[in-house]
Structure 1
Amino acid sequence: MNWMEKELEMMTDASLERTLRASAPLPGCPGYIMRGGRKLLDLSSNDYLGLAQHYAINEAMREAQSAEGAGSGASRLVMGNRPSFGRLETVLALWQNCEAALVFANGYMANTGVIAALAGRGDVVFSDQMNHASIVDGIILSRAEHARYRHNDMEHLRALLNKHRDKKKKLIVTDAVFSMDGDQAPLRELAAIKREYGAMLMVDEAHSGGIYGRRGEGLCHELGVQADVDVHMGTFSKAFGVYGAYVCGSRTLIRWLINKARTLIYSTALPASIVAGIAKALELVQTEHWRRERLNAAGRRLRSSLGAAGFNIAAGDSPIIPVIIGDNAAVLRFSSALEAAGIASAAIRPPTVPKGTARIRFSLSAAHTERELADAAALICAAALQSGVAGG
């Protein structure tokens, strides 16, 4: 196994090796973590609405675990399908204005399972070049042809659809909000193209569910194209502050997935405590509108402050604010300087992002106050100067 050591040495030399670092939440202090005995402002997690430590969610989970135990004991098709799943899926379908819903263990398993269930050999999946790795892996597992179109380039997508016009099944898949850039997919154009070419459309709302829409339904609802989307997918691990994923669509789709999605069929069901936490989080997402308002305002302020300071920031209006640095070693220096200043922020490097676009991916939370973010902007500028990167 000496080849591993050699490969790892090459990764280390290129500033690409990753390591696991322990971070613990700070009870009673949302928006912060503890790392190495220090309190750090958390500007890297996906707890967008600040729900991960919500008392009502934690209490619902404690009650469910006390009543039903720690684990589910089996897959949903064997003995793990507790009554709470059905209740949650009914509410999810109503929330998304769909006929039915299905809960998966997490977003990765939802994407890989759904795509592999909908497409196979002889079919083609059209996927945005910047889609999440779980979408890419789902296409690989499906054995369908993978037609990647340039990021948000609808003319390139049309050209690929024309090339594959005679294929029996055509599936277009896109993130609604792209996790590393924070920009949006052109969902209205995608809906029109889907109708024109007779394709299926799947939208991953992992980074937009809970944030957009009148009741947090997601970007599809915000833009009024939900009726054109065949597969609505989203996660409970980001804005909802819990864990798991959902797929909403027609009754036929859900029946098909129950029988064909291998990541559902062959996985142990989520524990009842997680399902209870999701149900409570869904209630809060729909009713506590102030969280979305506060998050959106925070995003506008920090984006404006960093842009005015000269940082290279990708365009967008989401709570994801990437500061593009480029060089791998430089972004690691910047991340270390930020941590020394009291800010937890991850350095994102290839292959997660394209070569030459290493970045700090700031992501905000409704738990952050205006004062905290104003102070953070000043600290970010100072850390940039200290580490010798652009901006600041």
Structure 2
Amino acid sequence: MHHDITPEEDRATLDVPRRILERSGFGAADPLFGADLNDAGDPEEARQTVASHASRLWTEAARTDVGTVDDRPLYWARLLLAARLRTWKPTFDLTEADRSGLLHLLETASRGITELVFPPGERLLRVVVTGFDPFRLDEDPACANPSGAAALDLNGWTFTVGERTAVVRTAVFPVRWSDFDAGLVEEALGRAYGEADAVLTLSRGRPDRFDLEVWNGVWRGGGTDNLGVARTGRALAADAPEWTRSSLPLDLIVDRVGGPVVINTEVTEVPAGAEEPVVRPQGPTEGSTARRGGGGDYLSNEIAYRNTLLRDRAGSSIPAGHVHLPRTDSIEEHAPVLARVREIVATVAAGVA
């Protein structure tokens, strides 16, 4: 069977991504992976190869001693590895299900998802933070995503909160509807409700401001993802609520962090009994149907929705919610944003303690 690479993987062969990979030292990831993959003699060896290369990508990308945090090399290297794995012709029989499993392992292990686990200990305060891949790459193939950079910057961070030690674990999500449909958010964050003390999702938002998104909607508004796919309609089945709400300590964050940090309660809804959408600056009204959450109607709103729905369905009351980070135009602009994100995370942890 012929395995076509995806439009996203195809983009990784362009000049700009190639240059980013060469400059970063991540250019060797693909040939090294290819050599080890070709040495694999059976499905189990292939699995071990994928697991070790994927987890090495994540570990290298999340090293915090590198100066300017750049989320792009991890993104582009992962796509080259995925394309190689998708088109690989092994010397042994590999079922479609096996190959799909290997591709899924590559994704989860190189995104930090397989490592969203915490050490035991009564005095630990466990915080999960997630970001996103770069997107809108046809417009700007060199673009980065400050939320992905923040996830790399924060992974493994420990700090003292009163009598306790906060430990941060992070992951970076794809900008693809299909992964959300397949339950990647629930796979990654489901275990957090029972283990973690706070779960923050981050994404790239408007210039020059941090938005603390209060309300999340179930509606997808037709945005195009990194595969060129658009989705319109409800994200989940009819039994899922129209709205979920942030449980982050919003006032405390604004009070302590200062600067351009805004509590955003605005949504767009179709009011009960009506047909046309209405903008509601103060949040949804009783019985309304969602059209836009505070974070919009794209994947950042959806991860916020799915995360807070997981919290509600688990009967948990821990701080969980979404922060839109300021849009940056270059990785040189990441540093002040990442410093502010650390303040936000530390404030959330202090609110728990």
TM-score normalised per structure 2: 0.28
Which one has the largest radius of gyration? 1
Given the two structures, how large is their TM-score scaled by the length of structure 1? 0.26
